[in-house]
Amino acid sequence: MSDWMIYGANGYTGQLIAKQAAQLGLHPILAGRREGMIAELARQLGLEKRIFSLDQPDAIDRAMAGVKLVLNCAGPFSATSQPMIAACLRQRSHYLDITGEINAFEFAHGKHTAAHAAGIVLCPGVGFDVIPTDCVAAALKSAMPDATELVLGFSSKSRLSPGTAKTSVEGMAHGGKVRKNGQITTVPFAFKTRQIDFGDGDTHAVTIPWGDIATAFYSTGVPNIEVFMSMPPKMISQIRRLNWIRPVLGVGVVQRLLKTLIERRIQGPNEANRKSAPTWVWGEVRNAYGQTKTARIRTANGYQLTIDGSLYVVQQLLAEPSVPGGYYTPSLLLGPALVESLPGSGKLEISDT
């Protein structure tokens, strides 16, 4: 009998995490709302399964009996994190997920007091969203305690999974995001561009509404935060055109059409692509005197880092049950060196610029 659960084990990333967990000799309960794929995966891996949806609290509570920790891999997390966190609070189970959604982070942070009282850890974002960038942010804050501006970013040639693509489509309705003077602020798509050397040479980059707009503020207290991603100029121009049609991007029929196209055309990176497409992560802080520091680290492919990172946090949390309850970012839970502990990661280097 296992005491932890992967919910959404039938998804692209959930399956990869479940398979690696089994290879490591771990025994998660595989769970989700669709029995077919869950049952087959459980049979292949010799693991227990539980089938339930998140729209019936009583059913969730029965399915979570004896579960000490849930790793939620079922997106969109704007829909799944709230009922699952509520269940974890009732059942006094730790909650982890692999979200990169700003609203999901904000909801979890809002439950800090309740989690502290229940003695459970809420730590969303234990994958590529947001372990490496969060660790870079925390390390830079330590190197420059008086920083007032934080810029983060990454570069990768990895393909997207269907779930990541669908989450991006959902986010289109909300526009770009930055944090300004401590507040999350809506800005146009492709709000800013700049040339950045992420570690693999100068490249064009553009602002994106990444999860660190929420989490890096809680990890560092820096009031002004932006996140960039490398992107070809032609694609940046295409994204800017979306500003003209943003009002219709949140319409139900448009969302359904875009997600249907994703299901038909996107399969996610295969093992060869994950092995051949590492990620370069970068960050920069500035203080009121104009002094700056820059950080860089090379990591494994984002999806592989999500597999390794989520399972690492699971094992650490189960091995250390006395962690005080509350909301955590990955770096607040396990320190800025967490990213360096993961397979495929280099050393996090900080320099004056």
- Rounded to the nearest 5 degrees, what angle is found at the Cα of 75, between the Cα atoms of 69 and 166? 160
Residue range of the domain that includes 159:
131-301
Q: How many domains does the chain have?
A: 2
Q: Is residue 72 assigned to a domain? A: yes
Token duo for residue 141: 């804050």
Question: Whole-angstrom Cα distance, residue 70 to residue 8?
Answer: 10
- Same structural domain, 152 and 271: yes
Is the peptide bond preceding residue 169 cis, with omega within 30 degrees of 0? no
Q: Is residue 8 assigned to a domain? A: yes
Q: Is residue 345 assigned to a domain? A: no
Q: Is residue 74 assigned to a domain? A: yes
pLDDT in tens, 259-306: 566 566 655 666 666 676 789 999 999 999 999 999 999 999 999 999
Question: Whole-angstrom Cα distance, residue 96 to residue 75?
Answer: 13
Residue with the two structure tokens 């249907």: 260
Global pTM reads 0.92
Q: Is residue 88 assigned to a domain? A: yes
pLDDT in tens, 313-324: 999 999 987 899
pLDDT in tens, 132-179: 999 999 999 999 999 999 999 998 865 555 555 555 656 666 678 999
Longest dimension (CA), the chain: 60
Instruction: Using only the alpha carbons of the chain, give its radius of gyration.
Output: 19
Q: Is residue 351 assigned to a domain? A: no
Nearest CA among 71, 75, 85, 18 for reference residue 48: 18
- DSSP type of residue 244: G
128 torsion bin: left (phi>0), alpha (psi -120 to 50), beta (else)? alpha
- Same structural domain, 285 and 153: yes
CATH number at residue 85: 3.40.50.720
- Same structural domain, 313 and 239: no
Kindly state the helix (H) or strand (E) to which residue 236 belongs, with its residue range.
helix 233-241
Which residues have a Cβ under 8 Å from the Cβ of 74 and sit 6 or more positions away?
Answer: 7, 8, 11, 14, 32, 80
- Rounded to the nearest 5 degrees, what angle is found at the Cα of 302, between the Cα atoms of 115 and 249? 80
- Same structural domain, 154 and 237: yes
- Same structural domain, 119 and 142: no
- Same structural domain, 162 and 295: yes
- Same structural domain, 97 and 188: no
- Same structural domain, 280 and 140: yes
- Same structural domain, 109 and 159: no
CATH number at residue 277: 3.30.360.10
- Same structural domain, 216 and 273: yes
- Same structural domain, 250 and 139: yes
pLDDT in tens, 33-86: 989 999 999 999 999 999 999 999 999 999 999 999 999 999 889 899 999 999
- Same structural domain, 243 and 175: yes
Q: Is residue 17 assigned to a domain? A: yes
Q: Is residue 147 assigned to a domain? A: yes
How far apart, in Å, do the first and last CA atoms of the chain sit? 53
Which residues have a Cβ under 8 Å from the Cβ of 58 and sit 6 or more positions away?
Answer: none
Q: What is the DSSP string of 283-338?
A: EEEEETTS-EEEEEEEES-HHHHHHHHHHHHHHHHHH-TTPPPEE--HHHHH-GGG
